[in-house]
Amino acid sequence: MKWNFAAGGISAGAFINKSGADDDVADVAVKTESSEETKLYRREKKSFSKNSIITAIMLRLFVPVFLLLVAATSSQATTIKKRPPQTLSRGWGDDLTWVQTYEEGLYKAKKSNKPLMIIHHLQDCKYCQALKDVFAGNEEIQTMADKDFIMLNLMHETVDKNLAPDGKYVPRIMFVDPSLTVRADIVGKYSNRLYTYEPQDIQLLIQNMKRSKRLMPSEL
């Protein structure tokens, strides 16, 4: 239906046609916008897929390398790891191997042809503690003790009276030859306590350790 008015009037048909044209333009605009969004979505999807593939490849390459590095690090740590501290050391040298009893020490000394070094001490003795700190911290002593001696430290006396020739005092360090002879001839510098050592006597103790390594004539 068309309504025509006089000049200057409004044509309903023209209005309808104009409205339809506007709708067509809007529809084209919507379609164009939708098309652009689709293209953008496809580009983003393609980019995301590409990034996902790259990430997957990197993970495949990285994980085996990471595992190899972990294995190598663990292997190296195992190689350089020190021996675990022994309760038998009682602080005289945690990296040394200590025997538990005098009888075991004698057996191993004879079997290995190494002298047995016996340290008599008490846990609450301040003189023992002072000597222990220097003994454990001296690299030369620890190296010799590890390589050349059977080591024993005792907080009680043994039944062997030869280990207390001038009394049962502490600290007291004695040496036993692989022939199972107590080396009563290897003494410190104190006439009233022949077998004791103080922290300042550490060099004398080192000399006596070296001296005890020279075996008795019957063992040569």
pLDDT digit string (tens) for 17-32? Answer: 444 545 444 454 445 5
Same domain, 95 and 51: no
Same domain, 67 and 25: yes
Mean of pLDDT over the chain:
80
The residue from 35, 59, 81 where one domain ends is: 81
Same domain, 124 and 38: no
pLDDT-based confidence at residue 100 (cuts at 50, 70, 90): very high
pLDDT-based confidence at residue 11 (cuts at 50, 70, 90): very low
**Please, are residues 130 and 89 in contact by the beta-carbon 8 Å criterion?**
no
105 has a pLDDT exceeding 80: yes
Same domain, 106 and 208: yes
The residue from 47, 81, 115 where one domain ends is: 81
Same domain, 37 and 105: no
pLDDT-based confidence at residue 218 (cuts at 50, 70, 90): low
In a domain, 181, yes or no: yes
**Domain of 53?**
10-81
15 has a pLDDT exceeding 50: no
